[in-house]
Structure 1
């Protein structure tokens, strides 16, 4: 038998520095009885998107971009290579039945939580419609849920013009009794991106809305800290929902609904860090990335960096 000098069958030809641990090396496939620090699940569903979207491809692309980052923080002078990430894989959705797919997402997140394998969790969408079944599962498992939503849009569209879509998750949660309007905070709402009807709906339901003008005048970190303090007195657990179209199109070109005037990538990362430092923050979803529309994985790489800010806090 000939011994190969340079070939490594079944392995990628990737350079390895013995002193560097990449974040993707910390992913551990779930097995029965496994315990870890972070639970990761993919919700690859975008068939209910109101605009053409291949956001269902985002979970695998975001995971791949974890290899772009090391586990060492020079700013904190700390290596997080011992933080274990239990990867529960991706949910197998139904090819044609949309309601069945939504239920499969709900059941899968609920079953992940019932394993009690991790302290905190990250859900990778998919379009923003996946937040509806995911947050429902957290409500059932933990009790009262508070949500901080980074988004250019309210996502409280009516359910008559197309049923449940990526524009309806928070209306679905509120109308279904899974989330109180007063426990929802929306950050980064953009001007000329929503209808007056939905603007009025947020007021009627007591949703706390912070526009881009509010961020410009007050700063995003003070807003996040203020709402964390308020929510922590009302809820059992806080869930972060990050719609990447909150970020300016210059930094996140891979969103189906890109637009100018959003927050910067630095504002996103800093605000996630501020939120993740609170003890009641147990979960984060990242949604609305279409890799087919992206450029050099700019948006998926920003999503991977957002994961780091949530995990390594």
Structure 2
């Protein structure tokens, strides 16, 4: 059913049938997150704590990717999770979370898809100006477009990036275009985000060329290799990045590229690598970031359900990362 945001956003391919008693029946995520429909009151919805946005695009991926299937798989996975986080003694049902649906995509025209993402991001940030926005990708090219939409909605706000990633994502746009290998360079060269306001945690191994490192240095991009982050501690590394960003920007965009994880923990990513983060390390990093008052937008990208194994460990982990982010938001009032 179309919502008041149509045609900027369309209904998700899959939605759960909600019980009359809703959350009270089982405390499951699929009975808690409410879909936006034509019956939703635009003014009441503005009070939502969290807005979920599906961005099903992966035709712009350098490697073969079915990451466009993640928003659907993500929603289907909700039934396997409760709203209660026993580690933090937090029940997410205290938050109002709305599923705004998906950004419409063109079958063949990637540029139009990217324009649609920018427009959808802009309207989401305009209408839900006080809500936390969670974009569910899609490949990493969506991040540049989501940030550009945020910039259009709030041009006076300086934006910073906290990136969990195995890669710089600073490839030359001349050679690669707006692909999943270029989002950070795209933002730098478009003047939307300064390189000095980008912080990348998780680089490791043999998966970046030296010229990308040299470009990062030229632009003042801040990066902490996974080895250095482990020596200092993942939460401590994240906190250090956030402290520096806080002094420079108004809003921090958290982007989680699932290829930051070791292939043993996340087989369902297009560019899986050995030597990456463990599940626990990423969860700790995301929770630390989510507690910060300026981290008000996030995305999860490059998760390919079609490459996942039968029990879908990567889809489950991506859903866990999303709920961990919301846990951090819920904890803010008690910190």
- The answer to whether TM tops 0.5 is yes
Q: Does residue 284 of structure 1 match 2:289?
A: no
The answer to whether the Cα contact below 8 Å between 1:55 and 1:126 also exists between their aligned partners in 2 is: yes
Q: Structure 1 residue 82: deviation in Å?
A: 3.0
Q: Structure 1 residue 115: deviation in Å?
A: 0.6
SS state at 1:40 partner: strand
Q: Structure 1 residue 308: deviation in Å?
A: 1.0
CA–CA distance in structure 1, aligned partners of residues 23 and 183 of structure 2? 44
- Equivalent of residue 54 in structure 1, options 66, 87, 112: 66
Q: Structure 1, residues 124-151: CA drift from partner, whole Å, max 9, x if none?
A: 0000000011011222333110110000
- Pairwise CA RMSD: 1.9
CA–CA distance in structure 1, aligned partners of residues 140 and 89 of structure 2? 35
Name whichever of 154-163 and 166-175 sits farther off.
154-163
Q: Structure 1 residue 161: deviation in Å?
A: 2.0
* 2:12 equivalent in structure 1: none
* 1:29 equivalent in structure 2: 35
Q: Does residue 20 of structure 1 match 2:26?
A: yes
Unaligned runs of 5+ in 1: 1-9
Q: Does residue 84 of structure 1 match 2:96?
A: yes
CA–CA distance in structure 2, aligned partners of residues 108 and 17 of structure 1? 29
* 1:269 equivalent in structure 2: 283
Q: Structure 1, residues 244-273: CA drift from partner, whole Å, max 9, x if none?
A: 000111111000000100010111111111
Who wins on radius of gyration, i.e. which is larger? 1
Q: Structure 1 residue 177: deviation in Å?
A: 0.1
* 2:238 equivalent in structure 1: 224
* 2:152 equivalent in structure 1: 140
Q: Does residue 302 of structure 1 match 2:314?
A: no
Q: Structure 1 residue 122: deviation in Å?
A: 0.2
* 1:254 equivalent in structure 2: 268
* 2:115 equivalent in structure 1: 103
SS state at 1:312 partner: helix
* 1:158 equivalent in structure 2: 172
Number of equivalenced pairs: 302
CA–CA distance in structure 1, aligned partners of residues 276 and 232 of structure 2? 15
TM-aligned CA distance change 1:11 to 1:120, over 3 Å: closer
Q: Structure 1 residue 74: deviation in Å?
A: 2.4
* 1:63 equivalent in structure 2: 75
TM-aligned CA distance change 1:11 to 1:228, over 3 Å: closer
The answer to whether the Cα contact below 8 Å between 1:39 and 1:118 also exists between their aligned partners in 2 is: no
The answer to whether the Cα contact below 8 Å between 1:40 and 1:123 also exists between their aligned partners in 2 is: yes
Q: Does residue 209 of structure 1 match 2:214?
A: no
Q: Structure 1, residues 175-232: CA drift from partner, whole Å, max 9, x if none?
A: 0000000100000012210111101011111111111211232111111001111101
TM-aligned CA distance change 1:214 to 1:28, over 3 Å: same
CA–CA distance in structure 2, aligned partners of residues 59 and 50 of structure 1? 20
TM-aligned CA distance change 1:165 to 1:190, over 3 Å: same
Q: Structure 1, residues 67-110: CA drift from partner, whole Å, max 9, x if none?
A: 22111122333322232211110111111211111000110011
Q: TM-score, normalised by structure 1?
A: 0.92
- Equivalent of residue 120 in structure 1, options 126, 132, 137: 132
The answer to whether the Cα contact below 8 Å between 1:237 and 1:280 also exists between their aligned partners in 2 is: yes
